[in-house]
């Protein structure tokens, strides 16, 4: 395949004290990546981490105008973003928060300009970014939403067997979230009829756009235990969720629910379902991670660009040990390449 036909993906290295930099190094040291990858991070840090792990990797610094070569084992092209302060594995340094955000800005700009076909992110540390004074920062998903000028986006995780239009059984899961990084006491107020409608429209459209699902079927969780038990355990289902689903069904969207989450995530209810919409973070993601932790990826839907990520955090305790698991990064890269292949543009 010609180099220009292999998707170019910008891989941000995340929190420098975490496992993100070594995941980038390990991926190219151990195998030929499934896409043209260019890391966005500090070249010296990546070279140091490669040496620490005993991996033979050529860290090749590129300018934005230089072509990114075809994927090759042992070669890691890099768009350089300098650290603000020295970094050691496992030790957070608030001074490097600006570095982390700059890597995101570089990758976002490359995608929006058409230079890159998509971006894959490794974990950042929300706490240290907040400690550094970036007030209101809540994570990758919301940062990308604001940077791209979008009113609403959807966070969805998918296991590796769900990368195709439909997969068998519980291991083929796509779980989207109606709310993301919110305290639990704020979740109910965040689920309004207009917002829920927007989220479902984005989920439906992007299942068609990026996954080739012609007529998506989406199962929707209730917010309360037993989906509210007819209003006896909360009225959000009666007042918000059910009317919203009924309105969208009248337009032809295939929506099941609201269903109690403890019964929705069973083989019988998941049969033929293309995605599940959970109402909050810890309602849907524990099930998905139990079914496929390390074999799942995070996707941001509703953006004008392709963005995937790993399904785990910075793992500060593993940083520098070489024991980080590449599984989720492999899935995130493969998924971003698949999604980019459906794009109508052909980045350089």
pTM here is 0.91
Annotation: binding site for substrate:
140-141, 289, 298, 307
Helix and strand numbers, DSSP H then E, in the chain: 13, 12
Where in the chain is CATH 3.40.718.10? Answer: 1-150+306-348, 152-302
Annotation: binding site:
140-141, 181, 226, 281, 289, 298, 307
Residues 6+ apart with CB under 8 A from 217: 254, 255, 256, 272, 273, 274
What angle separates helix 140-147 from helix 97-112, to the nearest 10 degrees?
50
Give 152-302's CATH code, choosing from 3.90.230.10, 3.40.920.10, 3.40.718.10, 3.40.1390.30.
3.40.718.10
Annotation: binding site for a divalent metal cation:
181, 226, 281
- For 282, how many CA atoms within 13 A lie in the half-sphere containing its CB? 6
pLDDT tens-digit profile of 235-256? 999 999 999 999 999 999 999 9
Render each residue's pLDDT in the chain as its tens digit; 348 residues: 456 678 999 999 999 999 999 999 999 998 888 899 999 999 999 999 999 999 999 999 999 889 999 999 999 999 999 999 999 999 999 999 999 999 999 999 999 999 999 999 999 999 999 999 999 999 999 999 999 999 999 999 998 765 544 443 334 789 999 999 889 999 999 999 999 999 999 999 999 999 999 999 999 999 999 999 999 999 999 999 999 999 999 999 999 999 999 999 998 999 999 999 999 999 999 988 887 777 899 999 999 999 999 999 999 999 999 999 999 999 999 999 999 988 644 333
Q: What's the CATH fold of domain 1-150+306-348? A: Isopropylmalate Dehydrogenase (3.40.718)
139: left (phi over 0), alpha (psi -120 to 50) or beta: left
- Cα separation, 300 vs 142, in Å, equals 9
- Cα separation, 275 vs 271, in Å, equals 11
């Amino acid at each position: 395949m010609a180099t220009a036909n292999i998707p170019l993906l910008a891989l941000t290295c995340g929190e420098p004290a975490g496992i993100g930099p070594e995941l980038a190094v390990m991926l190219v040291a151990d195998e030929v990546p499934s896409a043209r990858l260019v890391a966005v991070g500090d070249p010296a840090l990546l070279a140091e981490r490669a040496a620490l792990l005993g991996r033979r990797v050529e860290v090749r610094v590129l300018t934005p105008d230089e072509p990114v070569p075809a994927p090759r084992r042992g070669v890691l092209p890099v768009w350089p973003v300098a650290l603000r302060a020295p970094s050691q594995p496992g030790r957070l340094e608030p001074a490097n928060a600006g570095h982390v955000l700059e890597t995101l800005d570089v990758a976002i700009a490359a995608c929006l300009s058409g230079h890159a076909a998509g971006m894959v992110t490794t974990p950042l540390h929300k706490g240290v970014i907040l400690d550094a004074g970036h007030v209101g920062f809540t994570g990758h998903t919301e940062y990308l939403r604001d940077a791209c000028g979008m009113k609403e986006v959807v966070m969805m995780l998918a296991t590796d067997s769900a990368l195709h239009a439909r997969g068998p059984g519980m291991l083929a899961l796509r779980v989207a979230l109606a709310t993301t990084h919110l305290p639990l006491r704020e979740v109910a107020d965040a689920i309004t009829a207009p917002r829920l409608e927007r989220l479902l429209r984005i989920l439906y459209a992007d299942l068609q756009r990026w996954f080739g699902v012609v007529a998506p079927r989406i199962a929707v969780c209730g917010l309360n235990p037993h989906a509210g038990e007819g209003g006896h355990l909360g009225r959000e289902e009666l007042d918000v969720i059910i009317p919203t689903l009924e309105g969208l069904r009248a337009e032809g969207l295939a929506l099941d629910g609201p269903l109690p989450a403890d019964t929705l995530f069973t083989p019988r209810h998941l049969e033929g379902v293309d995605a599940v919409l959970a109402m909050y973070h810890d309602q849907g993601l524990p099930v998905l991670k139990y079914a496929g932790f390390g074999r799942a990826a995070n996707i941001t839907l509703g953006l004008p660009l392709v963005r995937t990520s790993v399904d785990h955090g910075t793992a500060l305790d593993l940083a520098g040990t070489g024991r980080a698991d590449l599984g989720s990064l492999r899935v995130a890269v493969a998924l971003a390449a698949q999604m980019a292949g459906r794009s109508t543009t052909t980045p350089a």
